[in-house]
Amino acid sequence: MPGQKRKYNVRFPPGRIKKIMQKDTEVGRMATAVPVIIKALEMFLISFLTKTSLITHSKNSRVMSVNHKQCIESEKLFDFLKDLAVQACGASTQKEVKAKGESELVICLETPSP
Amino acid sequence: MASSSGNDDDLTIPRAAINKMIKETLPNVRVANDARELVVNCCTEFIHLISSEANEICNKSEKKTISPEHVINALESLGFGSYIAEVKDVLQECKTVALKRRKASSRLENLGIPEEELLRQQQELFAKARQQQAELAQQEWLQMQQAAQQAQLAAAAAASASAGQQAGSSQDEDEEDDM
């Protein structure tokens, strides 16, 4: 008997994903490759969310916020998300946002705005 | 909402799908809105990453269409090799489904009956079914009528039976009037 057989009810729209892929004008035709990408995306999300939730837990916070995305920093695999994380962090806090590297994400605290 | 389809530049996975995914993966964690937004954008970024890598691999292979194989190689080269096993499963499923579909359509063709003939047969069957339904409806109608008639008769009989008693008493009066 398979141990962890999780059947997800979420199905991402293949048409939408194809459009996203083809926004990159370099990308040409692909037909049967889309379901494969969907699966990979699913797995990526699970992995990413799970890792981030560990950080949320370790901070004893009950709400996952952008700050917890520091896992993006810690995993080489998620390097491609660095820019996004920086942007998001910059949007949610209005102070001390200078692209200085690692320390920035950790410092990104939700200080109450006056 | 002002625009119906939105700009092409804002293509993302639908928020609802992401929310559901978060709920299924982390059922007991509350997630801030800005974090959800970030997840949505990460998805798009991931798709771009894989697509462009797969595209490069495809170009190198001198093929024009990105195949699942290219995507798998892309995953490997980007460090997502651990995803490959399950991804291959999905690929197998897709192939099986596609094969079944092809078999099904070829089975239909191999019946040897051209489409027009099939259409004609279908129309025949429809006409027959309609007729049967009409007959059934008529029967029901007749039955209802009969039942109604019987009910009427019964009512009339009962009425005349009681009226008869009354008539017996009033008939004398009538005779008097007539005469």
Q: Nearest CA to CA, how far is B74 from chain A (Å)?
A: 10
C-beta of residue A50 within 8 angstroms of C-beta of residue A62: no
Query: Quick check: A66 and B66 CB within 8 A?
Result: no
A109: pLDDT strictly greater than 50: no
Query: Is residue A108 predicted with pLDDT exceeding 60?
Result: no
Q: Which of A2, A47, A35 is nearest to B25 (CA)?
A: A47
Nearest to B54 among A33, A42, A63 (CB): A33
- Is the Cβ–Cβ distance between A41 and A10 less than 8 Å? no
Give yes or no for residue B36 having a pLDDT over 70: yes
Residue from B60, B22, B57 nearest B40 by CA: B22
Which CATH superfamily, name and number, covers A14-90?
A: Histone, subunit A (1.10.20.10)
Q: Are the beta carbons of A53 and B32 closer than 8 angstroms?
A: no
B43 and A45 within 8 Å at the Cβ level: the answer is yes
pLDDT exceeding 70 applies to what percent of chain B? Answer: 87
**B132 pLDDT exceeds 90?**
yes
Domain ranges of chain A: 14-90
pLDDT of residue A96: 41
- Return d(Cα A41, Cα B49) in angstroms, integer: 11
Confidence of residue A100 (pLDDT cuts 50, 70, 90): very low
- Of A15-24, A58-67, B43-52, B92-101, which range is least confident? A58-67
pLDDT at A53: 86
Q: What is the mean pLDDT of residues B118-147?
A: 92
Interface test with A, best of B28, B38, B90 (most A CBs within 10 A): B38
Average pLDDT of span A22-28? 79
| CB atoms B91 and A36 under 8 Å | yes
State residue A4's pLDDT score: 47
CA angle at residue A15 from B102 to A9, to 5 degrees?
Answer: 85
* CA dist., res. B130 & res. B18, Å (int): 49
Give the mean model confidence (pLDDT) for residues A84-107: 53
Q: Which residues lie closer than 8 Å to A24 by C-beta, 6 or more apart?
A: B48, B51, B52, B55
Q: B24-28, B94-98, B172-176: which has the minimum mean pLDDT? A: B172-176
Return mean pLDDT, chain B: 84
Task: Give the residue, B66 or A9, on which the prediction is more confident.
Answer: B66
B130 or B162, greater pLDDT? B130
User: Shortest Cα distance from A3 to chain B (angstroms)?
Assistant: 15
A54 touches chain B (CB under 8 A): no
Nearest to A64 among B32, B64, B80 (CB): B32
Q: Does B51 sit within 8 Å of A64, measured CB to CB?
A: no
